[in-house]
């Protein structure tokens, strides 16, 4: 058996010396030291030796194994150095070649418009607050003066969560107004950006998911004149200092009195209503904001005394603003993630 071990050692040393690649080294290891390798085949015959010889042969077998492992390590290092040398020789970098341009990402156009709107109100002293997109009926409807039979609660308008009777995807950002007022005492100046959801078919002007910016102010002497001044300033910051702004009576359950706020069409070529304008349909005005004085019932629902404080609230659709500012007619372009489209809005 000693002769077989010596021959195995010599054979393994010759095999490792012939290795030229990492896979050659691994093949030699498996051949000689693997579970079914030559060394284990010899060691299985130890039991046939006289008991007195077994310790010496076992020690010799360990010595042979250590020697083979050392040769394998040397071979692995040698072929590794050779492979590196070949790569350095074959993969040289030509520093005279032009570099490859890597396109940089940028803010999504909807996010860019949202940031611009927020900046306008932050400059007027408003702070930014965000809230959960999954709401309960109290915050989304009840506290905002929606009666139990209001059509907006119907399944055709609201996306309720299956298996959760009182949970829904918020239909507006106004629930954050309730959350802020219930946890904070006036004076308040808050603007709330966020994603909202309603049951609607996706087409050129509608989407079941869209974006809003809600704002509100509450203090002792807040009036409709304050609301008009804040929104007029904000819209002229967005659409130009000469943009026309008008307020029209309207109705919302959570404000009284309520108003729709329009801005003069930014696409009519002459600045006057154009019969062929595809944006304002010849009216000369674009509906932008819903607003009004916070309803006394809403103030009571959050624990405020409507005789002591008053406030106003407003909301605008970011998607609608983006369409107008960028001159787009199809809302779906914002959600298709087509890089050819998004690359046109670098920020």
Spell out the per-residue pLDDT of the chain, length 347, in tens.
Answer: 677 778 888 888 888 888 888 888 888 888 888 878 787 777 777 667 777 777 777 787 788 888 888 988 998 999 889 888 888 888 777 778 888 888 778 889 999 999 999 999 999 999 999 999 999 989 999 999 988 887 777 766 888 888 777 899 999 999 999 999 999 999 999 999 999 999 888 887 788 999 999 999 999 999 999 999 999 999 999 888 878 899 999 999 999 999 999 888 776 655 555 566 666 666 778 888 999 999 999 999 999 999 999 999 999 999 988 888 888 878 888 988 888 888 888 76
8 A C-beta contact, residue 329 and residue 204: yes
Of 198, 192, 194, 209, the C-alpha closest to 168 is 198
> d(Cα 322, Cα 194) in Å, to the nearest integer?
15
Both structure tokens of 317: 């659709």
CATH superfamily of 109-342: Bira Bifunctional Protein; Domain 2 (3.30.930.10)
8 A C-beta contact, residue 61 and residue 6: no
> d(Cα 320, Cα 61) in Å, to the nearest integer?
82
Give the neighbor-by-neighbor strand order of the sheet with 167-169. 134-136, 167-169, 159-160
Full-model pTM: 0.67
**Domain ranges (residues) in the chain:** 2-90, 109-342
Both structure tokens of 301: 């629902």
Both structure tokens of 104: 């940089």
């Amino acid at each position: 058996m000693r002769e077989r071990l010596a021959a195995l050692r010599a054979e393994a040393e010759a095999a490792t010396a012939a290795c030229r690649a990492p896979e050659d080294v691994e093949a030699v290891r498996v051949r000689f030291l693997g579970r079914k390798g030559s060394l284990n085949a010899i060691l299985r015959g130890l039991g046939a030796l006289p008991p007195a010889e077994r310790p010496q042969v076992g020690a010799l077998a360990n010595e042979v194994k250590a020697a083979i492992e050392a040769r394998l390590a040397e071979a692995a290092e040698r072929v590794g150095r050779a492979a590196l040398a070949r790569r350095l020789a074959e993969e040289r970098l030509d520093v005279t070649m032009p570099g490859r341009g890597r396109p940089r990402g940028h803010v999504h156009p909807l996010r860019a418009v949202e940031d611009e709107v927020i900046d306008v109100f932050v400059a007027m002293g408003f702070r930014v607050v965000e809230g959960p997109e999954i709401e309960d009926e109290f915050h989304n409807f009840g506290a905002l003066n929606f009666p139990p039979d209001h059509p907006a609660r119907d399944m055709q308008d609201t996306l309720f969560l299956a298996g959760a009777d009182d949970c829904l995807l918020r239909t507006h950002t106004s629930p954050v107004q309730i959350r802020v007022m219930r946890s904070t005492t006036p004076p308040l100046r808050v603007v709330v950006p966020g994603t909202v959801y309603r049951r609607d078919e996706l087409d050129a002007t509608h989407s079941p998911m869209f974006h809003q910016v809600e704002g509100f102010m509450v203090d002792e002497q807040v009036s409709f004149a304050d609301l008009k001044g804040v929104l007029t300033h904000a819209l002229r910051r967005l659409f130009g200092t000469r943009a026309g702004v008008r307020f029209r009576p309207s109705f919302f359950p959570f404000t009284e009195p309520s108003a729709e706020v329009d801005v003069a069409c930014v696409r009519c070529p002459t600045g006057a209503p154009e019969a062929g304008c595809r944006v304002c349909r010849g009216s000369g005005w674009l509906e932008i904001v819903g607003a009004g004085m916070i309803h006394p019932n809403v103030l009571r629902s959050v624990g405020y005394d409507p005789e002591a404080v008053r406030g106003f609230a407003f909301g605008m659709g970011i998607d609608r603003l983006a369409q107008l500012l960028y001159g787009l007619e199809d809302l779906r372009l914002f959600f298709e993630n087509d890089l050819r489209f998004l690359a046109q809005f670098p920020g």
